[in-house]
Copies of this chain bind each other. A is one copy, B any other.
Amino acid sequence: MDYQNYVQILKAMADPNRLKIIDLLSCGSLCACDILEHFNFSQPTLSHHMKVLQNAGIVSARKDGKWQHYTLNEEFMTSFKKDTDLLLTSDDQCICHSDADCPNCSSGKVAITNEKN
């Protein structure tokens, strides 16, 4: 799996305020000023958070006159859940399979989830 992208997403989510923004957007699109009303921090701080969320591919923005409308990316929601499953599942893509000295691989502990081999 693509660690870099997944870590960037996790970092973007790992802030209580940005998490709240994601939660807000999960109800539907919102413009910056509507989001800002839910917080105590300044407008530039929100601007910064929205940029972090956009850079991580979590949120996309659409400009409409003076307003910026933010929407949760459908692709993020599906791929994040998929990557999480991939991470927490012992499968062929497990990192230890590329390591000949891995105790779990050599001891056969992974065999149960690797029956096709």
- Which residues of A line the B interface, CB within 8 A? 3-4, 6-7, 10-11, 13-16, 19-20, 22-24, 26-30, 34, 37-38, 72, 77, 80-81, 84-85, 87-90, 94-97, 99, 101-105, 109-110
Say whether A19 contacts B37, CB under 8 Å: no
Task: Please tell me if the beta carbons of A27 and B104 are within 8 angstroms of each other in the complex.
Answer: yes
- Cross-interface CB contact of A14 among B14, B27, B80, B109, cutoff 8 Å: B14
Contacts of A109 in B (CB 8 A): 27-28
Q: Measured between C-beta atoms, what is the minimum distance from A11 to chain B in Å?
A: 4
CA distance in complex: A96, B114 (Å): 44
5 contacts between A and B (CB under 8 A): A23-B95, A26-B90, A27-B90, A28-B109, A81-B84
